[in-house]
Amino acid sequence: MIFLKTQDEIELLRQSNLLVGRTLAEIAKIIKPGVTTRQLDKVAEEFIRDNGAEPTFKGFPHYEPGYPAFPGTLCTSVNDMIVHGIPNDIELKDGDIVSVDCGTYMNGFCGDSAYTFCVGEVSEEVKELLRVTKEALYLGIENAVHGKRLGDIGYAVQKHCESHGYGVVREFVGHGIGRDMHEDPQVPNYGSRGRGTLLKHGMCIAIEPMITQGSRKIKWHNDGWGVSTADGKCAAHFEHTVAVGMGKADILSSFEFVEEVLRNKDN
């Protein structure tokens, strides 16, 4: 069932999502070669709790028998890992990229956003993957308007990424979001224009292109969570939570906090 949100509910969603953006900015301040993803996770959890919220991912249930709930506040996916990387004690190296996916729960509503960071000096080839993936996210968002269909979002993402020779992951998709982290509908990053669920004002969805440098084929890690590219090439992941609007989507999360930090680090 798809739940349409009132404007008051959308504002509560915005608060949770802006906290995610501010949390990712705290990560941006400290991410560098020699830092571990477990250190990033600790900073994120403390910041979220200090701001009166809970980290949504921590303890998130795994529905496969025998696998544990997710142990981290963040999903930290390095280089060829596409999504759901568990924070660990391996130091990040110069030239790595790391997707940091973060969720919060505050005032009864969830926030969810992801940003792929460069660690030190990253190759131009990999920077291009990140650039195109982020562009695809915003092209998808341009189609999150009342009267269009889910296929319009997926088509925009798929066309842009495949035109650059990249792979579009099929096994993982975006999702509705609200009082629960994952609500209906599913939001694929591929599709056909004019097909799929009709978008309506008040629908709130997380759009999250997961794009691979080479083949779109995946492989699972033994921990039951992590998923990597089958060919070992890099993957990028960017995500915003948006409210479907009349003529224009309302982006509830934000990269502004992150990118302000990154600009200051570069100066």
Residue showing tokens 């009342």: 146
Q: Between 265 and 5, whose confidence is greater?
A: 5
CATH for 7-266 is 3.90.230.10
Asked if residues 70 and 225 have their Cβ atoms less than 8 Å apart, the reply is: yes
Give the 3-state secondary structure of residue 171.
Answer: coil
Beta-bridged to residue 237, according to DSSP, are 210
**pLDDT at residue 62, as a whole number:** 85
Q: Which of 32, 55, 52, 33 is nearest to 42 (CA)?
A: 55
The domains of the chain are located at 7-266
**pLDDT at residue 63, as a whole number:** 80
pLDDT band at 265 (very low <50, low <70, confident <90, very high): confident
Least confident of 38-47, 56-65, 115-124, 139-148: 56-65
DSSP 41-53: HHHHHHHHHHTT-
- Whole-number Å distance between alpha carbons of 36 and 191: 37
pLDDT digits (tens, 9 = 90+) for 9-43: 999 999 999 999 999 999 999 999 999 999 999 99
**pLDDT at residue 65, as a whole number:** 81
Q: Which of 32, 26, 14, 25 is nearest to 109 (CA)?
A: 14
**pLDDT at residue 64, as a whole number:** 78
Q: Which of 71, 58, 61, 152 is nearest to 105 (CA)?
A: 58
Phi, psi dihedrals of residue 156, rounded to the nearest 5°: -60, -45
* Vertex 116 angle, CA 111 and 122, to 5°: 165
Asked if residues 80 and 235 have their Cβ atoms less than 8 Å apart, the reply is: yes
pLDDT digits (tens, 9 = 90+) for 149-198: 999 999 999 999 999 999 999 999 999 999 999 999 999 999 999 999 99
**pLDDT at residue 266, as a whole number:** 80
pTM score of the predicted model: 0.97
